[in-house]
Chains A and B, each alone.
Chain A
Amino acid sequence: MTASGAAPLLKVEGVSRRFTGLLAVDRVSFSVPPGEIFAVIGPNGAGKTTLFNLIAGVFAPDSGSITFDGDAIGGLPPDQVCRRGVGRTFQIVKPFPGLTVEENVVVGALLRRPDVDTARDHAHAVLRRLDLFDKRTQKAGALTLPDRKRLEVARALATDPKLLLLDEVMAGLRPTETDRMVGILRDLNRETGLTILLIEHVMRAVMALASHILVLHHGATIAEGSPQQVVRDPAVIQSYLGAEAVH
């Protein structure tokens, strides 16, 4: 136990996961205090998405523990993790293509609402926040990628999470779209105190949002700290950012 102010909302301790020959996540530990925007970065194949899937319950960790809001959640199935207050997006977006944008978000909203009408009201509020309200009658399958990425966030947000896991929601977006998403996430964090854990390659977004960064390489932590510390770390520059990233 480190003597840091508030109890962490999410605490990952010595978590490992092996896929046959490959140690995808290697004794990773970190804590996310409530209200923080925490970023996980690292090169492709570093184990970021696997780490997310361990937290979200897609895989069970081979060893180590994951504590969320005081309860051990390591090894719980995804639906139970979500019910405890962890919302997630998928790196490869998974909209419900045959349903409308509104129906997609209503599904999320129904988790904590007993009937469709109240869920729809909540979905409308979420859709407005994500700039998707005007597109609510469109089929999700017909949306452009930036809209799908925002729908992914909207749907997860509709479940009223305490912690939002965002897996590369900026990937494939143009700079203006990235800024729009950064603005939405920053407002969410400021106004509702939502804790966000994000995986991101777009450093522009990471630097704008994150107050704390964890860097993974070959499944293991190679650096952790404030954005300013991390981008100056020689190991991070060598393995991920590249020398020219720091001028």
Chain B
Amino acid sequence: MTGLFSELSKRGIVLLVLLLALMLAAPFLANDYLLTVLILILYFAFTGQAWNVMMGFAGQLSLGHALYVGLASYVAAALFVRFGVGPWIGMLVAVPVAVIAGAIIGFLAFRFRVGGVYFAILTIAFAEFTRVGFDHFSYVGGSGGLFLPVSQYTSNDLVNLRGNPTMFYYVILAMTLGAWLLCRWLLRSRLGYFWQAIREDEDAARALGIDTFRCKMIAVMISAGLTAPAGVFTAFYYNNLFPEQVFNMGRSIEIILGPIIGGVGTLFGPILGAFLLTGLSESMHELLSWLGLDVPGAKAVFYGICLLFVVVALPDGVWPWVARKLKVTERKVTERKP
């Protein structure tokens, strides 16, 4: 375990433990409203982390991650509603479905050398026509939506993900922690180095013997598969699914804003970005309603301003700057005896 956290300074480890303790204690400290905000934050931290594998690690820009969330939501929800299959078994189906969707997009793009902006457009296109498809997919309710039986908040059933916000909070917290550990391991693996090489310069990566097609395929498939549990989670948390909402491009954009603001390619960026963005926008919403103001589109404007600020002032994201200020990372020195 010491090796796993070797790049964190003592101070960084202390802060990490404190943060984790605070997160674990949150349901006892926060009211119900605050808890739902925290759930939303962790949802964005989780999906941002998954998106970051593709864009931050391997340099492949996806603007259609709502596709993987939506597919997983529908698969798990349909299995539950139609066959009474629980969400954890549903996850075993939903994750492969998302992985296959990612593999199809990846194969078409990388096999036919669709890169950069065109790749991003392809990811949007897939999310969009899936949305249109689900609008007419009557087996899962079409555009009228798919609904899960709403549970009583008095009893918690972890097996069927029926319960109160506290249970959902701990589920998404565990998922986010798991995603963070997985991404951490991936980034420092052999594959992580190859991904970063591809991100930095694909021609140079190929010249060093890296099978870039294979590595990019793995990145898309892991990113899609890692996104899927968030879809299963939201289906059971919100209990309703509308194609118009779950596959909406706005959802895809919301997923990527956190990591961009926090720091693309970093491990804490997606988490910090989610806290900043969702935390601040919810605070603003509260402030506006306390002032009795109804400002439609205020959230979108706020996101725009955040993005503008980060792009201009901290193009690497907020996290690298925070990490320097807090001195949480050791200077990266791998000393070896000569």
Contacts and interface: CB of A to CB of B under 8 A. Distances in A.
B1 interface: no
Given A94-B203, A100-B332, A116-B188, A155 B196 contact: no
Contacts of A56: 207
Interface string A136-156: 010000000000000000011
Given A79-B211, A121-B336, A137-B332, A116 B206 contact: no
Q: DSSP majority for the A interface?
A: helix
A120 B196 CA distance: 16
Interface in B154-184: none
A110 B331 contact: no
Interface stretch (A82-90, A179-187, A200-208): A82-90
A152 B10 CA distance: 36
Contact of A96 (B190, B196, B211): B196
A78 B193 contact: no
A191 B197 CA distance: 30
Interface residues of B, number: 27
B200 A159 contact: no
Interface in B307-338: 331-334, 336, 338
Contacts of A242: none
A94 B193 contact: no
B212 interface: yes
Contacts of A114: 190
A82 B209 contact: yes
Q: Which of A56, A106, A107 has the most CB of B within 10 A?
A: A107
Contacts of A108: 208
B190 A115 contact: yes
B193 to A, nearest CB: 5
10 contacts: A79-B207, A80-B209, A82-B207, A95-B201, A96-B201, A97-B201, A107-B194, A107-B196, A115-B190, A116-B193
Interface of A: 56, 58, 77-80, 82-83, 88, 90, 94-100, 102-103, 106-108, 110-111, 114-116, 119-121, 124, 128, 137, 155-156, 159
